[in-house]
Chain A
Amino acid sequence: MQHWAVLPILIPLLAGTLMLLPPLAGTIRRQRIASLVSLTLMLVGALVLFRLSTQATQLYVLGDWQPPFGILLVADRLSSLLVLLTTVLAIGAVLYSLAGDDNRGKYFHSLMMYQLMGVNGAFLTGDIFNLFVFFEVLLIASYALLIHGGGKQKTQANVHYIVLNLIGSAFFLFALGMLYGTLGTLNMAQMSTRIAGLTPGASILAEAGALLLLVVFGLKAAMMPLHFWLPKAYASASAPVAAMFAIMTKVGIYSIFRVHTVVFGEQAGDLAYIAIPWIWPMALLTLVIGAVGVLAAPTLRTLVANLILISAGTLLVAVVLLNTQAVIGGLYYLVHTTLVTGALFLLADVIAQQRGQASDRFVVSRPMKQAPLLGLLFFIGAVTVAGLPPLSGFVGKALLLQAAQTATEMGWVWSTILLSSLAVIIGLSRAGTNLFWHVSGNKTGTDNARPIQLIAIAFLLLASPALVIFGGPATEFAEAAALQMQQMYPEVQTLIAEGQP
């Protein structure tokens, strides 16, 4: 019996819980150690799972109950990759927090662990209601983390974030009611096979459910016009939390991908790809609004938050293009953008600290204490997110551009993606010149950034060159994952079939 598939959920659950109990409770030092230990374990686990998934999809039957009746975890290439990605990002965020952010309020490490549990669970589960549960886990953890460190802005942003998401959760349950009420099952793989067989009336109700789910996931994915909560929330969250949030929108996009292009995929008869026509315009608009936001941003944090919007839009485009090439590009881009935007949130924090009064606003300020070093890091990050060679940004972008096939697709996708890249170039060159060069007076009296902070940032940024140098293997893996996704969980289907008398 192999338990690898459930470890990414159990390890953080245990770690987070143990931190509430003696001997870990109360002393930040022990919690830090515990947190690092569990992250190391998770990294190992994620790597093993990753290796295994490339050989065969890892299925984990919880409670040993024959699917579709019990809850099933599905660790195929895609979900294992995302679990690994999440873990790496978390390592960066937690390392950074060790410099003191984690001690600005209680339970930081516990909550971080629970956040990880939620995200990993959402990636791994093959059961739609279980997906809801893990959504709630990661949401409640994010609510609690968002106010970590305190401050008016955090409270304010949190009110919007939570109320919108509570409405979203209500919609999620409505949608589940509609899907269960028509399909009579919760196992996603089984759902996908039942859709085509629905009576006309029921099929319409299922369609309504599927489309309502799009709203729910779109809210998490910050799909325009459901993106409003994001900029303020991300810009006000404390650095490690914001960095960790870089994966959150991806959960929504991943769910859209799983549900609306796989479960409601080509085998779904009348309901095949039912949501795609709706996502198209919203994806492009998300890109546009992100680009505008980048140009409008008054502070570096807001700018990076809008970069998250752009990445969300780009990934949604990758989803709706509905071809292997697009998925390859999307996966590559996803890894790249998650890690680098995470790093930028951390970097923005260091910059803000070293600029004293000016913080991270684009105004004249005294020069930073470690201007050259931070400048180099910023330059690397900027070149990467702007999609400029030789760093990883351009590969994903080029792959996506190649994926647009018909003339109409080209017209829309190319123009929006390229123009948003231009906006990013302009925005970032403005940001960089203002933050680092538009200075007066002598250096600020702030202390140097803690080594651990710089290590964390560098660690995440390292992904960029790595993804380029090993671009070949990376894209080939992405291809394998993409092809696997189009096969509708064959392993699960057989498992279910075995169960039927």
Chain B
Amino acid sequence: MSLFWILLLPLLGTVVPLLTDRFGRTACAFATAALPALALVLVLLQVPAVFDGQSVVATLPWIPLLGLELSVHLDGLALLFAILVLGIGLLIILYARYYLSDKDSMGLFYAYLILFMTAMLGIVVSHNILQMWVFWEMTSVSSFLLISFWNHNSDARKGARMAMTVTGLGGLALLAGVIMIGNIVGSYDLTAVLSSGDLLREHAAYPVIVILVLLGAFTKSAQFPFHFWLPYAMAAPTPVSAYLHSATMVKAGIFLMARFYPVLSGTELWFVIVSLTGLTTLLIGAYTALFKHDLKGLLAYSTVSHLGLITLLLGMGSDMAAVAAVFHIINHAIFKASLFMAAGIIDHETGTRDMRRLSGLWKYMPYTATLAMVAAASMAGVPLLNGFLSKEMFFAETLDQSSLGSLSWMIPVLATVGTAFSVAYSLRFIHDVFFGGEPEELPKQPHEPPRYMRLPIDILVALCLLVGIWPALLIGNLLAVAAGAVVGGDLPDYGLYIWHGFNLPLLMSALAMTGGAYVYFNREKLFTFQAQFPEANANLIFDKSVKWVMKHCARFIDWFENGSLQRYAFLLILLALVLLGLPLIDLNTTAGLRPQIPVDAVMLSGAALLALSSLATVIWHRKRLIALLMLSVVGLIVSLAFALFSAPDLALTQLSVEVVTIILLLLALFFLPQSTPKESSPSRVARDLTIAAIFGGIIGTINYAIITRPLDSISDFFLDNAKSGGGGTNVVNVILVDFRGFDTLGEITVLGIAALGIYKLIARMGLFKPTSDDDGRPWTEDKHPMMLSVISQGLLPLALLVSAYIFLRGHNLPGGGFIAGLVTSIAIIQQYIAHGVDWLKDRLKLDYQKVIGSGLLIATLTGLGSWAFGYPFLTSWYDYWTWPVIGEFEVASAIAFDLGVYLTVVGATMLILANLGQHTTTERARETEHQ
């Protein structure tokens, strides 16, 4: 269980700095350090167990279906990295305490830092590879925050985004790789994965997996060609560079390769990709580093090259190489972290990191200088320092490997060259900064840093020496277990001595030393040579390419979603056309077996009229009034058709809706132009005609095919139960108010909502004043015609009577609430037309909104009534209300429901028309005042 605390403590630690920030910097720093320190103790407590080779695992279930569980373990590799992460992390906390200025929010910085620490720790101690990926991505996110900590300068922002993009890409690739491994192995449990190496290597998907996993590793560890983001991550505060970009995060990729080494390595593919990438990175990094004038830039590229070195070792495939790799991981972490911190001190105390201005600092900060020089020497691989030992191992391994077949001899040679360059830039670091004359006008007067700011470096440099002198004693066991975990088996016996006798590796070191010295002292030539090449600024290139992508995306979207409804509608119809049309190709016989109705002259002429008027609507659609008239003719014939085909209710409804719709459209024409400009290009018209015609054809065909086929439907039930169950003889009406009353409830709700929405539309309408139609004819100012007003006044009661009649008989004969409602509305509208809005306002005091509301309410409550009797919503009261005396209750519920419908219809229709009509009149009133 204590294993979980190793992760949990730092996680809790992320909030500590935020809370303790206000108690001053030192307090905050110590509080922050407390929990990670505790975690480190817990880790160290496990050391004996790990050294005994016991498997230290703890697991909790999390998301079984995903194969994700909380699973923490400590094997040799995990132990090594855990110590690095926590140990160096603590030093960084101390260092940052002095490094950060008062302007920076210390709490926030520490919070990000600890968040990253947790994530990194999570990667290394994960026993479930999916969980490992989770933490992997968390390092990307937290490093984004850390790099952009000084987010006011644009380099920080850009650098952060670049790192995020590159590592994000890698992370997604890794996810794919991890899931593939999981699919093949059948589990994400590390033990299971590590034990199925052959299974994976022989699987067809192996190459894909290797490439995906390596994509993750290379992006994270800044391997060529993804190395470019690392130097720009140096925009981060130096503690971050020291921690993430030298000691830990960039090692995550290495860790990943080491973790999967037992299962993925051992094939030609792996060797070729990994070793070549490593070698290339090693050389490019070492060479570029020499030309960087920025201290941190130099260190960044040197990091790149050392990571390449480790990668190369992991690509060689010999167990000994793996040992060397692990050894160098440790050494590089130690000396590089200290170098970064030293660079930070120099930057902090002199105000610049430019080596062209820095020089002769020895005089001002001898102590720091000594430390930096020792560390740099270790980086160069000078004997008696840890860097030397792993470099010797490296050389030895380059000599006995054959991953490139007959070309294998190149590797040692190039390795020596690379090392020579690392010697050269180490020399430059030492010589340029601490010697070589006086510094040139530094922003600050340089002096030694505060005692405790230097302490971390003291410790690390001491380690460089001690490890360099007594390697076996100090880290022998750790190295052994870690390397053991990497090779996943027994290690070859090797000796960690300072002195291996005179041998090729030693010779190579000597060559590298002298070569490096030579290169450095003749650097001027090299610099002038390098100066011919324009320095490629990856940041700019990256920025440009991202901008390019975005620009073209934007261009594409503008072209594709060009805001033309006509295109959108066309595509919608086209898709429907395709999906409808293709099945019909298989429809051999259109006509079904159902006996068809004989044609007679009346129908024929009706059909002809229908067809003609529809066409006329299209042909004259630019003359809007005429189009409207034609449309009304169509509607009229449609309602006749309903009547003809035994649907009286539909006929009535269609008719009344028709009237209201036409009135509405006429009103609309008052506000809209009366004619449509001729703007569609002939091709557009042709296109639309074609697609419309084809679609119509398809619909017609389908319709014909359907209605000529027999149908076995559920409707008989309605005919049988309408009277007995619904208590009405008009089956359609019974369906509406009873069988499918729920639909009707929804339907009138739609009507009500529409009215509300329309009210909103009109209420906010900016008023414009069409005083004349488009041909300049002024709208008439006449009073409302006498005749009309007189007649309609007489008509109103009659109309109301009619609607009442239609309403009441609805349940048994054509009619019902809806039609009645429309008739009523039409009658009222007529009054508006006849007398004008104002006249009616005084007489007809109706708040249509309330009418709608009460209508809906009545309908709903009627439905709810049945609850009282323990029946579902909308159960009509008829079929169980047994007392014969009050038998008429049978109708009650249906009528009440229909009343709701009636009221809603009246309310909605009037709310719509009255409001709009009002506009027309107020408009004109105001207009006349203006004149």
A232 CA / B549 CA spacing, docked (Å): 22
Is B579 touching A214 in the complex (CB atoms < 8 A)? yes
Is A401 touching B854 in the complex (CB atoms < 8 A)? no
A259 CA / B759 CA spacing, docked (Å): 36
The interface residues of chain B lying within 8 Å CB-to-CB of A455 are none
Evaluate whether A295 and B553 lie within 8 angstroms (CB atoms) in the complex, with A228-B561, A402-B179 already known: yes
The interface residues of chain A lying within 8 Å CB-to-CB of B871 are 1, 64
Is A475 touching B571 in the complex (CB atoms < 8 A)? no
Is B756 touching A21 in the complex (CB atoms < 8 A)? no
Is the CB of A40 closer than 8 A to any CB of chain B?
no
The interface residues of chain A lying within 8 Å CB-to-CB of B550 are 295-296, 430
Chain A nearest Cβ from B207, distance in angstroms? 13
Is B161 touching A62 in the complex (CB atoms < 8 A)? no
Contacts A63-B876, A402-B183 given; 14 further ones with Cβ under 8 A? A105-B764, A121-B746, A130-B743, A164-B565, A177-B703, A181-B706, A226-B572, A289-B560, A296-B553, A397-B175, A398-B130, A402-B182, A418-B173, A475-B63
The interface residues of chain B lying within 8 Å CB-to-CB of A292 are 553, 556-557
Evaluate whether A140 and B706 lie within 8 angstroms (CB atoms) in the complex, with A208-B580, A295-B553 already known: no
Is A395 touching B63 in the complex (CB atoms < 8 A)? yes
Please, what's the 1-or-0 string for A202-229, where 1 marks a CB less than 8 Å from any CB in chain B? Answer: 1011011001101100110000011011
Closest 9 A/B residue pairs (Cβ): A144-B757, A20-B853, A184-B713, A133-B746, A437-B151, A211-B579, A181-B706, A389-B134, A296-B553
Is the CB of A349 closer than 8 A to any CB of chain B?
no
CB-contact partner of B141 in A212, A388, A471, under 8 A: A388
Chain A nearest Cβ from B909, distance in angstroms? 15
Is A10 touching B873 in the complex (CB atoms < 8 A)? yes
Is the CB of A3 closer than 8 A to any CB of chain B?
yes
Is the CB of B747 closer than 8 A to any CB of chain A?
yes
List the A residue with the shortest CB-CB distance to B151.
Answer: A437
CB-contact partner of A10 in B164, B168, B860, under 8 A: B860
Mind listing 12 A-B residue pairs with CB under 8 Å?
A: A13-B749, A20-B752, A21-B853, A117-B749, A133-B750, A140-B754, A144-B753, A150-B764, A160-B568, A205-B587, A472-B61, A475-B64
Of A89-97, A353-361, A421-429, the one contacting chain B is: A421-429
Chain A nearest Cβ from B800, distance in angstroms? 24
The interface residues of chain B lying within 8 Å CB-to-CB of A326 are none
Of A49-57, A67-75, A241-249, the one contacting chain B is: A67-75
CB-contact partner of B576 in A68, A129, A148, A215, under 8 A: A215
Is A215 touching B572 in the complex (CB atoms < 8 A)? yes
Q: From residue 290 to 337 of chain A, which have CB atoms closer than 8 A to chain B?
A: 292-293, 295-296, 298, 325, 328
List the A residue with the shortest CB-CB distance to B158.
Answer: A433
Is the CB of A368 closer than 8 A to any CB of chain B?
no
Is B579 touching A212 in the complex (CB atoms < 8 A)? yes
Q: From residue 405 to 437 of chain A, which have CB atoms closer than 8 A to chain B?
A: 414, 418, 421-422, 425-426, 429-430, 433, 436-437
A180 CA / B711 CA spacing, docked (Å): 9
Of A77-85, A167-175, A456-464, the one contacting chain B is: A167-175
Is A68 touching B714 in the complex (CB atoms < 8 A)? yes
Is A479 touching B65 in the complex (CB atoms < 8 A)? yes
List the B residue with the shortest CB-CB distance to A475.
Answer: B65
The interface residues of chain B lying within 8 Å CB-to-CB of A471 are 62-63, 66, 68
Chain B nearest Cβ from A219, distance in angstroms? 7
A181 CA / B169 CA spacing, docked (Å): 52
Evaluate whether A61 and B872 lie within 8 angstroms (CB atoms) in the complex, with A117-B749, A204-B584, A472-B62 already known: yes
The interface residues of chain A lying within 8 Å CB-to-CB of B725 are 65
Is the CB of A178 closer than 8 A to any CB of chain B?
yes
List the A residue with the shortest CB-CB distance to B562.
Answer: A228
Is the CB of B226 closer than 8 A to any CB of chain A?
no
List the A residue with the shortest CB-CB distance to B870.
Answer: A1
A427 CA / B715 CA spacing, docked (Å): 56
Chain A nearest Cβ from B176, distance in angstroms? 6
List the B residue with the shortest CB-CB distance to A397.
Answer: B175
Is B764 touching A225 in the complex (CB atoms < 8 A)? no
Is the CB of A123 closer than 8 A to any CB of chain B?
no
Is A204 touching B65 in the complex (CB atoms < 8 A)? no
Chain A, interface size category, equals: 35 or more
The interface residues of chain B lying within 8 Å CB-to-CB of A1 are 867, 870-872
Of A29-37, A106-114, A445-453, A487-495, the one contacting chain B is: A106-114
Is A422 touching B172 in the complex (CB atoms < 8 A)? yes
Is the CB of B739 closer than 8 A to any CB of chain A?
yes
CB-contact partner of A476 in B65, B592, B711, B850, under 8 A: B65
Evaluate whether A134 and B746 lie within 8 angstroms (CB atoms) in the complex, with A164-B569, A398-B130, A418-B172 already known: yes
Binding site for A on B (CB under 8 A): 61-68, 130, 133-135, 137-138, 140-141, 144, 148, 151-152, 154, 157, 160-161, 164-165, 168-169, 172-173, 175-176, 179, 182-183, 546, 549-550, 553-554, 556-558, 560-561, 563, 565, 567-569, 571-573, 575-576, 579-580, 582-584, 586-589, 592, 699, 702-703, 705-707, 709, 711-715, 717-718, 721, 725, 738-743, 745-747, 749-750, 752-754, 756-757, 759-761, 763-764, 849-850, 852-854, 856-857, 860, 864, 866-867, 870-876, 879
Is B709 touching A110 in the complex (CB atoms < 8 A)? no
Is B747 touching A107 in the complex (CB atoms < 8 A)? no
Is the CB of A484 closer than 8 A to any CB of chain B?
no
Please, what's the 1-or-0 string for A334-375, where 1 marks a CB less than 8 Å from any CB in chain B? Answer: 000000000000000000000000000000000000000000
A292 CA / B168 CA spacing, docked (Å): 17
The interface residues of chain B lying within 8 Å CB-to-CB of A232 are 563
Chain B nearest Cβ from A408, distance in angstroms? 13
Chain A nearest Cβ from B277, distance in angstroms? 22
Chain A nearest Cβ from B122, distance in angstroms? 9
The interface residues of chain B lying within 8 Å CB-to-CB of A38 are none
Is B702 touching A215 in the complex (CB atoms < 8 A)? no
The interface residues of chain B lying within 8 Å CB-to-CB of A256 are none
A83 CA / B414 CA spacing, docked (Å): 66
A441 CA / B770 CA spacing, docked (Å): 48
The interface residues of chain A lying within 8 Å CB-to-CB of B872 are 1, 3, 6, 60-64
Is B759 touching A107 in the complex (CB atoms < 8 A)? yes
List the B residue with the shortest CB-CB distance to A117.
Answer: B749
A293 CA / B550 CA spacing, docked (Å): 9
Is A71 touching B176 in the complex (CB atoms < 8 A)? no
A401 CA / B64 CA spacing, docked (Å): 16
The interface residues of chain A lying within 8 Å CB-to-CB of B571 are 225-226, 228
Is A25 touching B849 in the complex (CB atoms < 8 A)? yes
The interface residues of chain A lying within 8 Å CB-to-CB of B754 are 140, 144
The interface residues of chain B lying within 8 Å CB-to-CB of A182 are 706, 709, 711
CB-contact partner of A21 in B172, B558, B560, B857, under 8 A: B857
Is A6 touching B873 in the complex (CB atoms < 8 A)? yes
Is B739 touching A70 in the complex (CB atoms < 8 A)? yes
CB-contact partner of A181 in B183, B560, B711, under 8 A: B711
The interface residues of chain A lying within 8 Å CB-to-CB of B573 are 167
Evaluate whether A425 and B165 lie within 8 angstroms (CB atoms) in the complex, with A63-B874, A295-B550 already known: yes
The interface residues of chain B lying within 8 Å CB-to-CB of A205 are 587, 702, 705-706, 709
The interface residues of chain A lying within 8 Å CB-to-CB of B711 are 181-182, 184
Is A211 touching B583 in the complex (CB atoms < 8 A)? yes
Please, what's the 1-or-0 string for A142-171, where 1 marks a CB less than 8 Å from any CB in chain B? Answer: 011001101000000001100110011001
Is the CB of A136 closer than 8 A to any CB of chain B?
yes
Is the CB of A39 closer than 8 A to any CB of chain B?
no
Evaluate whether A201 and B164 lie within 8 angstroms (CB atoms) in the complex, with A21-B850, A228-B568 already known: no
List the B residue with the shortest CB-CB distance to A211.
Answer: B579
The interface residues of chain A lying within 8 Å CB-to-CB of B740 are 63, 70-71, 129-130
Is the CB of A267 closer than 8 A to any CB of chain B?
no
Chain B nearest Cβ from A367, distance in angstroms? 10
Is A437 touching B66 in the complex (CB atoms < 8 A)? no
A185 CA / B377 CA spacing, docked (Å): 86
A401 CA / B569 CA spacing, docked (Å): 34
Is B583 touching A207 in the complex (CB atoms < 8 A)? yes
Chain B nearest Cβ from A230, distance in angstroms? 10
The interface residues of chain A lying within 8 Å CB-to-CB of B703 are 177
Residue with the greatest number of chain B CB neighbours at <10 A, chosen from A25, A140, A218, A397: A140
Chain B nearest Cβ from A76, distance in angstroms? 18
